[in-house]
Structure 1
Amino acid sequence: MQKEAGIHRGDSAAERVGDTGGEVADRVRQVIAAVGVSQREFARRIVMDPSKLSRSLSGARRFTVAELARVADTGDVDAAWLLGSGAQADPVPTGRPATRTRRTAGAAPADGGRPLQIVRETVRLIAERGFHAVRVADIAEACATSTAGIHYHFPGRDDLLEAAVRWCMDEDTARRAAHIAEAADVAGELRQLIELQTPYTRQQRRQWSVWLDLWAEAARSTVVGRLHVEYYRQWRETVADVIRRGVAQGAFRPVDPEIAALTLTALIDGLASQVLATTPGEPGTSADDMQRALLAHVDTALIAR
């Protein structure tokens, strides 16, 4: 038997489901309505690009087998019913959340379902060991399932890696939005963003460890490369928007917001890399050093006198 070497690529990742009459898309719409969330939120729960979900529902793109497996798990419906090849013993009641009566021992928690559990455990293991050191068997053990159970939702390496990157992006975006909402002014918003990106806690260091590992993958993977570009476009635009408003209010110097955001985010990345290379408590660049340097940069380059 061939030894399993890390997360591998599966040939079934490209399997698409025919839907000439739109019946599959219609059943997926029923599931979304029954779960009672927005289409974007449902895409987050099944770890799928919202634009891909939208195109699949409109008929411009066909669902893959794995995507429908994640839809079935999240909506707690039979995959055979989604495919139109079996009767649904527990019809989806449009307008109320789907039940979880079929969950069994070792099943994923109800607050997200098996796909999100797989992705969360994958991210945790990547942070601890590095992407290429993580085997599907490790993820299966962490999720109390089998390797076949992992491949059922994410057939290949690229599928799982894309889902892990997208989940990290969504989590990071949500945290940024919450922190900005707490600030009293634009200068406070910028300080909140800096604090959020400074790896003080174990969770923040883990998040940065994942990002550093995924940066290396972005140089080799077209899928991750596209997500990397998308994430940084959103991240820099968030920073640029804060700076733009600060300039308009007279709180910041009249700088180019895009250039200032590019400079600040590059400083954050470089300093965070140095912090992660330093063992906490040992000589080197600490999280405190990073935050002081970033705040000094903001004070010198941005704050209006």
Structure 2
Amino acid sequence: MTEGLPDRVRRAIERTGATRREIAAAIGLEETKLSKSLAGRRRFTPDELAAIATHVGVGVGELLPPVTAEPGPAVRTGAADDPDGARKRILDAAWTLIAERGYHHVRVADVAANAGTSSAAVHYHFPGKEALLGEALRHDVELAYDRQSAALAGIADPHARLLRLLELQLPEGPVLEPEWSIWMQVWVEATLDTTSDHGRRGLYREAQDRWARTVLMTLRDGAAAGVFRSGDLELRARQLTALVDGLGIGVMTRTSTPGAMREALHDFVEHSILEHP
């Protein structure tokens, strides 16, 4: 029998040796709500799943059924133990500053000051600013993966899941707009990168591949259910991801709006993906 979400969460909590009361208190959730969710009488929210995953030390994807494609080996950070959280603070500071100011306008000293540490500490965790940009992209991919995994897990209908997935790509808000800023800067760096399989270009290719595979998974689920058109689904996934990229650039450069992007994406889904009787 396939293990359900409550079983996965329960098993992850049990591995920590903590009680339900301790876990509930740590993530700011009422113990009764946690117990009901673990019993399958209440749904976990995406934020609750993300908080539990962080507290028990696993990725959100380990708790959820596969509705999104996992990041490849070049994207996973494989970070060493970070007992005092210094590495994460530095990465969060770099991610924020690069998104706000632009990669070429951020100094290591700026990152250190924003993280409340020294330049020497930054260099200890990251050899230089080049490494920081790569880690910022990896951080982007992992954020998107965790967010999508948590948000899509409870959506059985492929059409509703696809629309939610596209909504999670709109460049608006305190998380998604900075993510788009990072992505657009990486596009430029990948274009100028002279290496085809390593460096910026290789990292970007693998990150983009994860997003495309997630879209393809959703389209295949919809086609199998008779909700989406059959045919060349890989082509349709490429079309849809390219449309998201192009429309997102318009929003980020203020030549369009999130509402207009949403309308265009829904129109494409309606006329090019949905199977109509």
Confirm or deny a common fold (TM above 0.5).
yes
Contact 2:60–2:149 (Cα < 8 Å) also in 1: no
- Structure 2 distance, partners of 1:259, 1:208, is 24
Aligned: 1:288 with 2:235: no
Contact 1:165–1:224 (Cα < 8 Å) also in 2: no
Q: Which residue of 2 aligns with 1:274?
A: 250
Contact 2:244–2:265 (Cα < 8 Å) also in 1: yes
Contact 1:122–1:164 (Cα < 8 Å) also in 2: yes
Partner amino acid, structure 2, of 1:129: R
**Percent identical across equivalent pairs?**
34
Q: Per-residue displacement from partner, 1:17-60 (whole Å, max 9, x unpaired)?
A: xxxxxxxxxxxxxxxxxx9846999xxxxxx958785xxxxxxx
Q: Which residue of 1 aligns with 2:41?
A: none
Q: Which residue of 2 aligns with 1:71?
A: 80
Partner amino acid, structure 2, of 1:288: G
Q: Which residue of 2 aligns with 1:8?
A: none
Q: Which residue of 1 aligns with 2:268?
A: 297
Aligned: 1:243 with 2:219: yes
Aligned: 1:200 with 2:177: no
Answer 1 or 2: higher relative contact order, Cα 8 Å, separation at least 6: 2
Q: Per-residue displacement from partner, 1:220-253 (whole Å, max 9, x unpaired)?
A: 3442211111111111111011101111111011
Aligned: 1:185 with 2:135: no
Cα distance, 1:184 vs structure 2: 3.7
Partner amino acid, structure 1, of 2:118: S
Contact 2:77–2:135 (Cα < 8 Å) also in 1: no
Q: Which residue of 2 aligns with 1:255?
A: 231
- Structure 2 distance, partners of 1:52, 1:146, is 22
Change in Cα spacing, 1:52 to 1:137, as seen in structure 2 (3 Å) is closer
Contact 1:158–1:223 (Cα < 8 Å) also in 2: no
Cα distance, 1:129 vs structure 2: 0.6
Contact 1:154–1:160 (Cα < 8 Å) also in 2: yes
SS at match of 1:182: coil
Contact 1:140–1:150 (Cα < 8 Å) also in 2: yes
Partner amino acid, structure 2, of 1:227: L
Matches within 5 A, 1:132-151: 132-151=104-123
Q: Per-residue displacement from partner, 1:96-152 (whole Å, max 9, x unpaired)?
A: xxxxxxxxxxxxxx5xx1111111111110111110110011101101111111111
Contact 1:189–1:242 (Cα < 8 Å) also in 2: yes
Cα distance, 1:162 vs structure 2: 1.9
Q: Which residue of 2 aligns with 1:11?
A: none
Please, what is the CA RMSD of the aligned residues? 2.5
Partner amino acid, structure 1, of 2:238: L
- Structure 1 distance, partners of 2:76, 2:147, is 22
SS at match of 2:80: helix
- Structure 1 distance, partners of 2:163, 2:246, is 18
Cα distance, 1:299 vs structure 2: 0.3
Q: Which residue of 2 aligns with 1:167?
A: 139
SS at match of 1:199: coil
Partner amino acid, structure 2, of 1:123: W
* Rg comparison, structure with higher value: 1
- Structure 1 distance, partners of 2:259, 2:126, is 39
Q: Which residue of 1 aligns with 2:204?
A: 228
Q: Per-residue displacement from partner, 1:144-164 (whole Å, max 9, x unpaired)?
A: 111111111112233222211
Partner amino acid, structure 2, of 1:287: P
Aligned: 1:264 with 2:240: yes
Q: Which residue of 1 aligns with 2:89?
A: 117
What is the total number of aligned residue pairs between the two structures? 207
Q: Which residue of 2 aligns with 1:58?
A: none
Change in Cα spacing, 1:133 to 1:303, as seen in structure 2 (3 Å) is same
Change in Cα spacing, 1:50 to 1:293, as seen in structure 2 (3 Å) is closer
Q: TM-score, normalised by structure 2?
A: 0.69
Unaligned runs of 5+ in 1: 1-34, 42-47, 54-69, 77-109, 279-283
Contact 2:60–2:150 (Cα < 8 Å) also in 1: no
Q: Which residue of 2 aligns with 1:67?
A: none
Unaligned runs of 5+ in 2: 1-54, 62-72
Greater mean alpha carbon deviation, residues 262-271 or residues 211-220: 211-220
Change in Cα spacing, 1:146 to 1:50, as seen in structure 2 (3 Å) is same
Cα distance, 1:203 vs structure 2: 2.4
- Structure 2 distance, partners of 1:195, 1:185, is 15
